Amino acid sequence: MGCVMIVVFGRHVNVICKHWYLSILMACYALLRLFYDDIEMVMGSIQERLSPRNRDYLDKLFTAEEVRKAIFDMYLTKALGLDGLPAFFYQKFWPTVGKNVTNVCLGCLNERGSLEEVNGTLITLIPKVQQPECISEFRPISLCNVGYKIVVKALANRFRLVLGEVISEAHSAFILGHLILDNVINGFECIHVLRKRK
């Protein structure tokens, strides 16, 4: 994609950003449609690795304690959302707001309630360079409300306990205690061994 110029003042920035990211999403959607049959074939050939016990564990209802643990595991002041309230606020005033927050979160987690109540997200653009001139010179970040983060954290906490069963030990990205660079090191070691064999 070419460089889309940024108009610093006026409504044009909003329109340019919208068109830029819509074009990216539409390209991804077009690729997905193009390879849909292949994706279905691959997904159909993947064996289930989750034991019935762990499947039952994932299916059980979330508890108020899991919601409480999620909020108290969060960083105190990390990336505020639209509500402007950090996790610290919810932790500090948990005796007052905890029951309401828990009810909303459990409604989303257990009763298939709508995430609209907690999914207010502010997307902001952070410049990658000193004087950005193109939309591609910005990094978008999402600032999610703490309510949404609580729901996601509760899900992540539960998934964390069964990931070892479904993810191979050879995988190193997105696993606590593993580094993505481990794969690079393993790759270099494989190349080294192969070169020595010649």
pTM over 0.75: no
Question: Which pLDDT score, from 0 to 100, does residue 64 have?
Answer: 97
Per-residue pLDDT of 138-155, as tens digits, reads: 888 888 888 889 999 999
Per-residue pLDDT of 113-127, as tens digits, reads: 777 777 777 777 888
Q: What's the per-residue H, E or C state across the chain? A: CCCCECCCCCCHHHHHHHHHHHHHHHHHHHHHHHCHHHHHHHHHHCCCCCCHHHHHHHHCCCCHHHHHHHHHCCCCCCCCCCCCCCHHHHHHCHHHHHHHHHHHHHHHHHCCCCHHHCCCEEEEEEECCCCCCEHHHEEEEEEECHHHHHHHHHHHHHHHCCHHHHCCCCCCCCCCCCCCHHHHHHHHHHHHHHHHHC
Domain extent listing, the chain: 1-46, 50-166, 169-198
